[in-house]
A = this chain, B = another copy of it.
């Protein structure tokens, strides 16, 4: 129950409470009552800041999307896309494995299958990421750092699948740690993307 801390705006407090509840019970399992209790306020007060439960979910997903986009913005400026991808990927994995970020990835994927608004946000994020990776790979191919035989768009898709897959694995087995996978992941990316002769 996060009490009324002066510095934190009410809207943020609600979002944080909602994330905690969704993490515990999922989007549909968490009740507005539980979110209200977690935020330390009554339903009436909460509905002053968000018109509906769906609006809260949408706000959370949107914030998550922006955070993700931040990761990939660095890709455009990197000299070596393979090196940058590995570093960014490992950084993302570390962050997501540490806190409750895992739940969001899994829950959002499931929800995007039926919630129109969320599907739109997810689609936009996916396009954005895939384009960023694909462009970086193409540039890498021009400089001889990436195997020219690869189809950049499809390789990008697979790389995104690996990211999503790691979150799914973590969700299924919370004891999974990032340390054990770091090296193997780096090896995988290097061998997959580099020119075969090396």
State which residues 172-193 of A face B: CB under 8 Å. 172-173, 176, 180-181, 183-185, 187-188, 191-192
A112 at the interface (CB under 8 A from B): yes
Q: Is the CB of B161 within 8 A of A169?
A: yes
- What is the 8 Å Cβ interface bit string for chain A, positions 1-39, against chain B (1 contact, 0 not)? 000000000000000000000001110110000000000
Q: Which label, helix, strand, loop or mixed, suits the secondary structure of the A interface?
A: helix
Q: Is the CB of A103 within 8 A of B113?
A: yes
Q: Which residues of B contact A26 (CB under 8 A)?
A: 28, 110-111, 113-114
List 5 contacting pairs A-B, 8 Å CB cutoff, sorted by A: A107-B110, A154-B180, A161-B162, A161-B168, A161-B169
Starting from the known contacts A24-B114, A26-B110, A109-B168, 15 additional A-B residue pairs (CB-CB under 8 Å) come to A29-B114, A103-B113, A110-B110, A112-B171, A113-B171, A122-B172, A154-B180, A157-B181, A161-B162, A162-B165, A163-B165, A167-B168, A188-B188, A188-B192, A191-B196
